[in-house]
């Protein structure tokens, strides 16, 4: 993890967590994620507790992997109610950009954020009978510094000490990204770097490396994934001891964020219907790529150990 002296670092291999976001968004997407779990191509999941299929998640499948909370403050209906600033006039969250604009302008009450975080953690417990192995954020909302300052102490009080810091390095080398996507991802990385310090001060862990911004939807291909993972491998090797004859291997953990699943129809979402991304074939494209045997062979060739967050406890 982020601290190499942590007991969480006990492997001599580069370890890769493949985390599927948005479990609970729709039944058909959940079925696709379950197939990836069975195929061994997904090792961890994050649950949207306000998703329409959250109450019918396939717990038996999810028990094979880590299951964390996908904190949602941007899409659909909140778990709590009667918010004055966190939601719009219709009672829905403000959206990915609407939330960011409102919180930047000081228009969202921090107490309402705290209350909704608490509701979502408690709802996770009720749905699954266990605490989240980790907490990350829908549309990276958790790393907005004003949110992380609220989230981090609540994670500590609930004995949840793993999160996601979506700092994907060398993003400039990803020539396939559109300028619009690149600009948003760069803003996410800026937020993540600030939130990284907040997490460290609160004893919250995160992976040494992160991938997934550059390989979402149609940008996911065998070639792109291999290229990005090789970038992490190169960084990992640079961190190894340079002493001649040294047999010490410094462990590294990388999280790969993915969004697999079958195409969502008219039924899905978080209370206001599914978005365009879920109704396109991009989710199914990711699912099919992740299950390719060429990827499994690649992991084996480079001695990459697939693991999950729950093995780190």
**pLDDT recorded at residue 61:** 59
57 burial via Cβ count (<10 Å: 0-12, 13-18, 19+): buried
- Among 21, 136, 161, 208, which one carries the catalytic annotation? 21
Higher pLDDT, 197 or 251: 197
What is the per-residue burial (b if ≥16 Cβ within 10 Å, else e) of 9-26?
Answer: beeeebbbbbbbbbbbbb
How far apart CA 313 and CA 310 sit, in angstroms, is 6
For residues 237-259, average pLDDT: 73
What is the per-residue burial (b if ≥16 Cβ within 10 Å, else e) of 164-197?
Answer: bbbbbeebeebeebeeebeebbeebbebbeebbe
**pLDDT recorded at residue 313:** 55
Identify which of 207, 215, 209 has the alpha carbon closest to the alpha carbon of residue 173. Answer: 215
Other beta carbons within 10 angstroms of residue 247's beta carbon come to 7
Q: Is the pLDDT of residue 36 over 50?
A: yes
Kind of pairing between the strands at 135-137 and 66-71: parallel
Q: Are 205 and 1 in contact (CB under 8 A)?
A: yes
For residues 36-42, average pLDDT: 94
Q: Which domains does the chain have, with CATH numbers?
A: 14-237+251-311 (3.20.20.370)
Give strand pairing partners of 93.
87
For residues 76-100, average pLDDT: 94
Radius of gyration of the chain (CA): 19
Q: Are 171 and 185 in contact (CB under 8 A)?
A: yes
Task: Answer positive or negative: Cα dihedral of 281, 286, 290, 295.
Answer: positive
List the beta strands (DSSP E) in 24-179. 44-47, 66-71, 135-137
Task: Write phi, then psi, for 159 (nearest 5 degrees).
Answer: 60, 40
Share of the chain above pLDDT 70, in %: 90
What's the mean pLDDT when you consider all of the chain?
89
pLDDT tens profile 98-115: 999 999 999 999 999 999
User: What angle is formed at CA 95 by the lines to CA 93 and CA 101, rounded to 5 degrees?
Assistant: 105
Residue 103: half-sphere exposure toward Cβ, Cα within 13 Å: 26
**pLDDT recorded at residue 11:** 39
List the beta strands (DSSP E) in 80-150. 135-137
pTM: 0.92
Among this protein's residues, is 38 annotated catalytic? no
Kind of pairing between the strands at 304-307 and 44-47: unpaired
Contacts of 190 (CB under 8 A, 6+ apart): none
How far apart CA 93 and CA 48 sit, in angstroms, is 14
For residues 148-173, average pLDDT: 96
């Amino acid at each position: 993890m982020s601290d190499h002296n942590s007991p969480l670092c006990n492997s001599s291999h580069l370890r890769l967590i493949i985390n599927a976001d948005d479990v609970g968004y729709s039944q058909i997407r959940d079925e696709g994620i379950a197939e990836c779990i069975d195929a061994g191509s997904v090792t961890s999941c994050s649950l949207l507790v306000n998703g329409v299929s959250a109450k019918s998640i396939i717990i038996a499948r999810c028990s094979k992997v880590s299951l964390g909370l996908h904190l949602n403050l941007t899409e659909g209906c909140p778990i709590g109610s009667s918010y004055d600033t966190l939601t719009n006039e219709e009672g829905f969250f403000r959206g990915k950009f609407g939330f960011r604009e409102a919180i930047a302008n000081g228009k969202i009450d921090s107490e309402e954020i705290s209350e909704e975080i608490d509701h979502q953690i408690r709802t996770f417990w009720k749905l699954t009978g266990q605490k989240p192995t980790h907490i990350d954020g829908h549309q990276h909302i958790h790393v907005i510094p004003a949110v992380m300052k609220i989230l981090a102490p609540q994670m500590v009080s609930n004995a949840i000490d793993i999160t996601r810091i979506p700092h994907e390095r060398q993003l400039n080398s990803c020539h396939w990204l559109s300028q619009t996507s690149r600009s948003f991802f760069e803003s996410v990385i800026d937020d993540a770097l600030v939130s990284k310090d907040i997490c460290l001060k609160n004893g919250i862990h995160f992976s040494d490396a992160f991938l997934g911004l550059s390989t979402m939807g149609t940008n996911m291909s065998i070639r792109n994934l291999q290229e990005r993972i090789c970038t992490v491998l190169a960084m990992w090797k640079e961190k190894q001891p340079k002493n001649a004859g040294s047999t010490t291997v410094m462990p590294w953990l990388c999280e790969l964020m993915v969004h697999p699943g079958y195409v969502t129809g008219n039924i899905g979402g978080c209370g206001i219907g599914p978005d365009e991304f879920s109704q396109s074939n991009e989710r199914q494209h990711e699912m099919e790529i992740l299950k390719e045997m060429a990827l499994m062979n690649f992991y084996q060739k480079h001695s990459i150990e697939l693991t999950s967050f729950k093995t780190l406890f």
